[in-house]
Amino acid sequence: MINHDFKKEYYVAFNHFLKIGPIRLKRLENFFPNLEEAFKASSNCLEKAGLEPNLVAEFIKFRYSFSLDTAMNSLEKEKIKFITWHDGDYPRLLTELPAPPPLLYYKGDWTAMTTQLNRLAVVGSRQHSAYANRVLEEILPAAINAGITIVSGLAYGVDALAHQIALVNRGRTIAVLGSGLFEQRIYPRANQALAKKIIDANGLLISEFPPDMLPLKQNFPQRNRIISGLSQATLVIEARKKSGSLITAACALEQNREVLAVPGNIFSEFSVGPNDLIREGAGAICQTEDLLKIFNLEIKAETSLKKGQLLPLFIPANEAEKIIYNLIRCATERGQKISAEEIIRTAELDTAKINSTLSILEIKNSVLNDDRGYEIRN
């Protein structure tokens, strides 16, 4: 049995009961000497602390089925750590939010949060264009070299590309997830290799959700407030009129953070979001210097990005192409090839669909195949 710190582990216990969020938890903290007593309290005491009777009944039922020892042992097994809003290393910027997450789970090196304080959230379309690809490659390397940490959401498209550019340039990057941090829950699955690279490069994976939480649709707007809340500024690169990226920008605005956008082609649906933001007063970012002025930083003499280090842009025609291409891309980035059998085991798609999609990707000259497996065509 693990000898736990009882003042902290009960934040994990309450975190697993999703209906007690920051505001209700603060009521419990104000009423009880500590959360252990709150967790074990009678119905009457919980109601006196400010919880609604129906909610108290649900919580009591949850309490009988929940094992804190099991939860803590699972965290240790998966090498997941956590920090609460009372810890000294809890991100200062998050304390400024109206309802900051009481607990953050993380994998990786927490010094990515405490030693590099210039953080930029980078968000955009999941089906980004070649224009977005070029913008990121031109603007981000010098910013990263100047000491800016990239914060994003590990999603397809702009998120993944921003993380990759940070890694290529030996910078720090933080991924905020809309799922739990158990390995099988990291989403999207095609970016699990990227998540491991972030950890290996002393970056961070962060989530406020219980480690076994599925990537539910409603989780993502909630996690977006953390992406913007951790960052002094949020940069939007390509977004449709209604998109998650604009939710993140709205969060940044509510949090009194800088909202930045890259202007785009007025005829592209992906430029509507950033162009509207600029029209409404967001800072237009056209070069690295524009970005660094926000942080009062200067461009260093050299950046570490070498042309050709990033894999070529590929815009999938459908979801199957996206999933399969990303699996091949992740293998290629590791210097490996991936077999059709491994793709079938991992992709969770119909075998016939996988085989036909692989053939199409070869016809498009996007991937190469030999006896050892598939790789991205450079």
Q: What is the CATH number of the domain that holds 252?
A: 3.40.50.450
Q: Are both 290 and 323 inside the same structural domain?
A: no
Same domain, 41 and 167: no
Q: Are residues 331 and 245 in the same domain?
A: no
Please report whether residue 33 resides in a domain: yes
Q: Do 264 and 141 fall within a single domain?
A: yes
In a domain, 301, yes or no: no
Domain match, 153 and 280 both: yes
Same domain, 157 and 23: no
Q: Are residues 158 and 270 in the same domain?
A: yes
Please check whether residue 245 lies inside any domain of the structure. yes
Whether residue 335 sits in one domain with residue 286: no
pLDDT of residue 299: 76
Looking at the structure, tell me whether residues 369 and 250 fall in a common domain.
Answer: no
Shared domain check, 267 and 325: no
**How many folded domains does the chain comprise?**
3
Specify whether 143 is located in the same domain as 226. Answer: yes
- State which of 56, 77, 98 marks the end of a domain: 77
Residue 308 inside a domain? The answer is no
Q: Do residue 289 and residue 356 come from a single domain?
A: no
Residue 343, domain extent = 319-376
Q: List the Cα angle 206/249/152 in 5-degree steps.
A: 30
Preceding amide of 188 cis, omega within 30: yes
Residue 40 included in any domain: yes
**Which three-class secondary structure state does DSSP give residue 125?**
coil
Strand order in the sheet with 81-84: 81-84, 103-108, 204-207, 173-176, 149-152, 119-124, 233-237, 258-261, 283-284
User: pLDDT below 50 — which residues of the chain?
Assistant: 1-6, 303-308
Q: For residues 264 and 367, what is the distance between their CA atoms, to the nearest angstrom? A: 29
pLDDT at 311: 58
